[in-house]
Chain A
Amino acid sequence: MLRKKPLFAALATCALLLSACGNANDSKSGSGAASPGASAKASEKPGNVELRMAWWGSQERHDKTLAAIELFEKENPNIKITAEYSGMDGYFDKLNTQIAAGNAPDLIQMGGNIMEYVGRNALLDLQPYVGNAILLEDFDQSLINEATADGKLYGVTLGVSQTALLFNATMFNKAGVPVPNGESWTFDDFKNSALQISEKLGKGFYGSYDLSSDNASFTTYLAAHGKELYRSGELKFDKQDVVNWFSMWDELRQAGAIVPAEVQVANPPDAVDKSLIVKGQVAIQGASASQIFGYQALTEDQLGLLPNPAGPAGNGMSPPVSGQFITSYEGTKYPEEVAKFMDFMVNDPEAAAILGSTRGVPPSAKIRDALSAESTPIDKILYDYISLATKISTGNGYEHFPYDNEFIKLLKLTSEKIAFGAASIDSASEEFMTEMQKMLARANQ
């Protein structure tokens, strides 16, 4: 009898564990039935649907998007949307993991890297819903093309945007420096403005962030000088271009016109709450045009948008493009509801009024007209900027470098090495070229 005891105890433990698990399952599946309200709802509207939606942005965008979701849920009581929002930092890291694990959100905000995910079969083909659930009649064809591959649509543009230089107009005024004319300004004008502002305002104030680490600024600079970062499997610039780029910034650095390396690391421009442009200490930084809403929300100073300065080959900017898309995970269980929500975001007048231009200029002409009637001054700055950029852009459109993330990190590393004085411009540029060539070889093999 005694001998049997341990076995019995073990079995009892197992039984306990199992029953505990069983109970947990029961309570989970029963929780809906347990609350009378929920069960009544469920029987009224069969097929309650729960969707998850992921996006990145600043607080201002979160607030507006959450309000739009709330409106949608009110109009569609059988659909519940769980929001998964964050800053840009780590957004794609998390998304990649979710996709690999097969539990990505049903609705995913994407950026210019949408085709990367199409190539990996991660996104749902929306073509079957176009014309019935998703109406795109009021869209520019170019915006539809951007999200189309092999005749299938994979994303709906949420807004038109373009890279820009975000500037603090109040600081320009304080320094008595005229705001440059975006249509015609050149790199020399840019340098002069930066030098004058830092000189007039004194210690602790800078004309510009150190944009030598900013990939958008670098690629636009190349285009403004008749070069390109990458096209059809080749690098379209050489070491001298890199040296020129970093020398231009080094000159400004020596003159105290741009943010010193240590300060920039502690207050990176892309973190809205840390950016010194918001604190009125730096006059110019790089950004996507639609981000102006997030920055403006945090400061009393007047912000504005300028195109990149022009070089010998024009200003090198690409024509405005879709800033962001709403896409769907290929494995979603509710493609119809997903399509319905996508259409709601871009075509519903009430939703449009809530969302405004937080993701760029709305893609539907009808909505645009409706909004411009009640546009805020910031809306107007964005709209004007996008029309200006459309008018003056000379670039051919940016072709993504195959290892874009690695290129962005490498440019930042090179820039930091020079800014902290850890390497000369020449040797750092040499290293930059070597590493770019290595990545290219890896991509082309």
Chain B
Amino acid sequence: MGKYKTYLAGYAFLLPWLIGFFALTLGPIIASLYLSFTKYDLLTTPEWIGAKNYVSMFTDDYRLKDSIWVTMKYVFLSVPVRLSFALAIAMLLNQGLRLLNLYRTIYYIPSLLGGSVAISVLWKQVFDKEGVFNQGLSVIGIEGPAWISSPSYAIYSLIGLSVWQFGSVMIIFLAGLKQIPTELYEAATVDGAGKVRQFAKITMPLLTPVLFFNLTITLIQSFQTFTKAFIISGGSGGPINSTLLYSLYLYIKGFTFLDMGYASAMAWVLLFIIAIITGLLFLSSRYWVFYSDGGK
């Protein structure tokens, strides 16, 4: 009886969240699964067509091929660079600097602004052919290319923007670094281990749980990137599909071509891809992630 009441209380507290989850998240997710098997143009009733959307995704969609290639390039370049960059800055800030809080705040700002439309617009201006970045280059005698409007460079400007938003990852790294007991470094110094060796043998192993966390989160976020590509390419994913990230193509399919059934199918395929990659990451983690408490 008493136990029952405690449960009830727990659920009563959870209720606002549960309502939100079932009505605003789970409902639409299930609806999209159904829609992915239909032909649905947003305005008329969906018409059941079986697995046709999935079949045509893999058999005859030249844009999707471009889009997956661009997305893979984006994810597998931006994630490692962003993580390394964040780690490097975190280590710099972990030197017991004065005004540490100030620096931490400053470096965190790009992440706060990161997802916003304004930053993407700014980025577009900075890396324009006549933008600030190229003007800087011209001072040292280099004529920079059109970073945004050339199909060979456009994706790198997106990757650059993603790397620049390293703040939240850095904060988590910094917290991880602070957890490492200083005695270990002192002992290592006494034993004659240099800085590089200390990094490889102490810092990295003890940081692997944090690295694993950051890697997983960043990877999932990167697969879902939309705003940057949408704003910087003016919604087109161009030039020549060079910035047609998966989520952007999904949006174009759904809202420009009015093929909401197909777009829903794409969303499920993306979920599947992310699940596989995250699953592999978890499987591999037992070989490289080191928990100092033995993972208990």
Contact = CB atoms under 8 A, between A and B. Distances in A.
A97 B255 CA distance: 7
A92 B42 CA distance: 12
Nearest to B62: A435
Contacts of A413: 238, 240-241
Interface stretch (B98-106, B142-150, B272-280): B142-150
B235 A420 contact: no
B13 interface: yes
Contacts, number: 99
Contact of A422 (B10, B62, B240): B240
A96 B43 CA distance: 7
Given A417-B240, A438-B60, A266 B43 contact: no
Contact of A406 (B146, B150, B257): B257
Contacts of B145: 262
Contacts of B41: 120
B6 interface: yes
B15 interface: yes
Interface residue SS majority, chain A = helix
B12 interface: yes
Interface in A96-136: 96-97, 99-100, 117, 120-122
Given A7-B8, A266-B128, A266-B129, A13 B240 contact: no
A230 to B, nearest CB: 17
A416 B238 contact: yes
A90 interface: yes
Interface string A404-416: 0110010011001
A421 to B, nearest CB: 10
Nearest to B43: A120
A403 interface: yes
Contacts of A10: 8-9, 12-13
A373 interface: no
B239 A99 contact: no
Contacts of B238: 265, 412-413, 416
B160 interface: no
Interface residue SS majority, chain B = loop
B15 A14 contact: yes
A100 B258 CA distance: 11
A208 to B, nearest CB: 19
Contacts of A263: 129, 146, 149
Given A262-B150, A265-B149, A405-B256, A120 B44 contact: yes
B294 interface: no
B16 interface: yes
A174 interface: no
B149 A93 contact: no
Contacts of B9: 6-7, 9-10
Nearest to B255: A93
Contacts of A9: 9
Nearest to A117: B43
A266 B146 contact: yes
Contacts of A268: 234
B5 A4 contact: yes
A403 B10 CA distance: 53
A11 B12 contact: yes
A81 interface: no
Contact of B148 (A4, A17, A266): A266
Given A6-B10, A10-B9, 18 more contacts: A6-B5, A7-B5, A10-B12, A14-B15, A93-B256, A117-B43, A120-B41, A120-B43, A262-B129, A262-B145, A262-B149, A265-B239, A266-B128, A266-B148, A268-B234, A405-B258, A416-B239, A420-B151
Interface of B: 2, 5-6, 8-10, 12-13, 15-16, 41-44, 60, 62, 128-129, 145-146, 148-151, 234-236, 238-241, 252, 255-258
A-B pairs with lowest CB-CB distance, top 4: A10-B12, A265-B149, A6-B9, A120-B43
12 contacts: A7-B5, A7-B12, A10-B12, A11-B12, A97-B42, A99-B43, A120-B43, A120-B44, A263-B129, A266-B129, A406-B257, A420-B150
